[in-house]
Amino acid sequence: MKRELDCRGMACPAPVMQVREILAGEQPTLIAVIVDNEAARENVSRFLAHQGYQVESGELGADFLVTGRKGGGTCEVMGEAELAAVPGPGKKILVMLTSDRIGHGDDTLGAGLMLNFLKTLKEMGPELWRIVMVNSGVKLAVQEADALPVFQELAAAGVSILVCGTCLNHFNLLEKKQVGETTNMLDIVTSLQVADQVINI
């Protein structure tokens, strides 16, 4: 069974939620989704891949077409897919970065404090599970950001890094992202549910 879905004009995470609803109710063997921005294209593609679909995407005029074809794999729900990425037993700490600096007042001082904070995160050891960047926090994950080498080191050590696609689009930074997975609010909410502790910066 083939299913077509037009998600143009929908804000995050609506396209992923629409696709999830279709998959839960109809379980199509082929689904074609039209979206109008790169972040939605990445989010829908990743979600379909988590569900066991073979995913292809391409441009469709000014829009994007994401196609998922059901393979032989087992269908997973998003929560289980997120849990599968969690390291073994132990406390799971999620750090939510809502800005590219710490505090208010002097921006140079705030940026320096943030960089020092990020460099010190590795001291949490294996309890540091995931870093989520939203709002201006996404500026820390792009080309030429002072914090980029820190995030690359953390990612290499197994820390999961999620970067808000809507926020990247807002700041016109989607093409400049250098680390982490482009994500949506569904993934973020799921991560908050799974984490044992959330640190908001």
Residues 49 and 7 in one domain: yes
- Last-in-domain residue among 76, 105, 133: 76
For the chain, give the mean pLDDT. Answer: 87
The residues near 19 (Cβ < 8 Å, ≥ 6 apart) are 5, 7, 31, 33, 44, 47, 48
58 in Cβ contact with 64 (< 8 Å): yes
- Last-in-domain residue among 76, 104, 125: 76
142 in Cβ contact with 178 (< 8 Å): yes
What average pLDDT does this structure show over 120-130?
94
| pLDDT recorded at residue 80 | 36
| pLDDT recorded at residue 43 | 86
CATH code of residue 31: 3.30.110.40
Q: Domain containing 178: what range?
A: 82-200
- Structurally, how many domains does the chain consist of? 2
Q: Is the pLDDT of residue 126 over 80?
A: yes
Residue 82: pLDDT band (50, 70, 90) is very low
What average pLDDT does this structure show over 169-186?
93
DSSP 29-53: SEEEEEESSHHHHHHHHHHHHHTTE
Residues 39 and 71 in one domain: yes
Count CA atoms within 13 Å of residue 152 on its CB side.
10
Residues 104 and 172 in one domain: yes
Distances (CA, A) of 99 to 8, 57, 103, 123: 29, 31, 9, 21
Q: Is the pLDDT of residue 18 over 60?
A: yes
pLDDT in tens, 92-105: 999 999 999 999 99
Instruction: Name the strand (E) or helix (H) holding 22.
Output: helix 14-26
Q: Is the pLDDT of residue 31 over 90?
A: yes
107 in Cβ contact with 101 (< 8 Å): yes
Residues 50 and 126 in one domain: no
CATH code of residue 110: 3.40.1260.10
The encoded tokens of residue 170 equal 């807002």
What average pLDDT does this structure show over 125-129?
94
